[in-house]
Amino acid sequence: MAFYWLVFLTGLVTTLVATPAVRALALKFGIVDRPGERRVHSSPIPLLGGIAICLGFILSVLLFCDVGSPVVGLLVGGVFILAVGVVDDVLDLKPWQKLMCQIAAALVLVLFGGKIEFLTNPFGGMVYLSYLSIPLTVLWIVALTNVVNFMDGIDGVCAGISAITCLTVFSVAWLNDQPYVAPLALALAGAALGFLRYNLHPATIFMGDAGAMFLGYTIAGISVIGAVKGATTFALSIPAVALGLPIMDTAFVIAGRIGRGSPFYKPDNSHMHHRLLSRGFDQRQAAAFMFRISILLAVSALILSRHDILTMAVAAVVASVAVVQAVMTVRSGDATAHRETRPL
């Protein structure tokens, strides 16, 4: 256990130390997020926090993890997606440009041997994916990258929920004796929590698209490596359940945009955090609400990893119902309140 503490603390302390330096760098070059129609802050906030998260994760991995081929691919792809995010934070890339870069980052991991080749059949045996292996791996990585990126809307939420997810993946990997995956998840958890120190409301720095995409890509990549090294169903289902809140929120938002005839990728104020703020929550209250749901989902994920198929199915259904209910409760706010509240 002392080894795991070292992994966690290295990611945590490195990010704690690096974040103020990165903040100073962002201020020096004027790389800040300015207030706008969809922004909830009232003054410019420095960006580039994702660089500090990346530094914390990479240092911890290089010092303590088994850096085999898939992990090298994870690090290379992670640095690439971070660089894409930095460019997007500075120049504001078009959605299709970001998507192409996300696909390229996913293919980096695939080229280094990180791909989902089997799925566990709940009725016994394994399903070999054959030619579907690469496209499904890319789809999984790109989807989680964007889910995490989309939830970065208010102070602390993205870093906090990512940390909860990583700690859940670590716990399951540790309980199921997967030493290859456990330190990777714990290194990222430490880095995310180190950044959270500066990102809770009132935030003094934002992670930007660089940090949010790096977190999403790395969580997805760790789960793919877990699928390569161990039980595929656990490796993919655990982060999916732990990230159930932003996944369901993203699904509702996209469905709503399509229903209104808008492009599904066009930003708006319909995410859960926008709804919470419009109903009178402040940023700390909204973040706490989302953290509580994510912790409940993390507990559900732990249950999924330790019981029989029937119990797993019941836990999955309960978790899904809880998230849907939470999202619908937030999104079904009183119409009068929405008319009286100025859009954020």
Per-domain boundaries in the chain? 2-340
Q: By C-alpha distance, which of 203, 223, 204 is closest to 215? A: 223
* Partners of 32 in beta bridges: 46
The SS3 of residue 126 is strand
pLDDT at site 68: 86
Give me the phi and psi of 81, to 5 degrees please. Answer: -70, -30
Which residues have a Cβ under 8 Å from the Cβ of 318 and sit 6 or more positions away? Answer: 300
* C-alpha R_g of the chain: 19
Instruction: Find where tokens 């994920």 sit.
Output: 301
Model confidence, pTM: 0.89
pLDDT along the chain (344 residues), means of 10: 93 98 95 72 85 98 91 97 96 93 97 87 70 94 95 91 96 86 96 96 94 97 84 75 88 86 77 81 88 87 71 69 66 43 36
As a 3-state breakdown, the chain gives helix, strand, coil percent values, each rounded to 5, of: 70, 5, 25
Give me the phi and psi of 322, to 5 degrees please. Answer: -60, -45
pLDDT at site 84: 97
Q: Is 332 exposed, middle or buried (0-12, 13-18, 19+ CB in 10 A)?
A: exposed
pLDDT at site 231: 57
Terminal-to-terminal C-alpha distance of the chain: 45
Instruction: Find where tokens 């070059």 sit.
Output: 29
- Tell me the longest C-alpha to C-alpha distance in the chain: 58
Sign of the CA dihedral with 211 first, then 215, 221, and 222 last: positive
Under 8 Å between Cβ of 307 and 232: no
Q: Provide the H-helix boundaries in the chain.
A: 2-28, 49-64, 69-91, 95-111, 133-150, 157-175, 182-199, 208-229, 232-242, 244-259, 272-278, 283-304, 309-331, 335-340
Strand-strand pairing, 45-46 and 32-33: antiparallel
Alpha-carbon separation of residue 11 from 59, 88, 102, 336 (angstroms): 7, 25, 24, 46
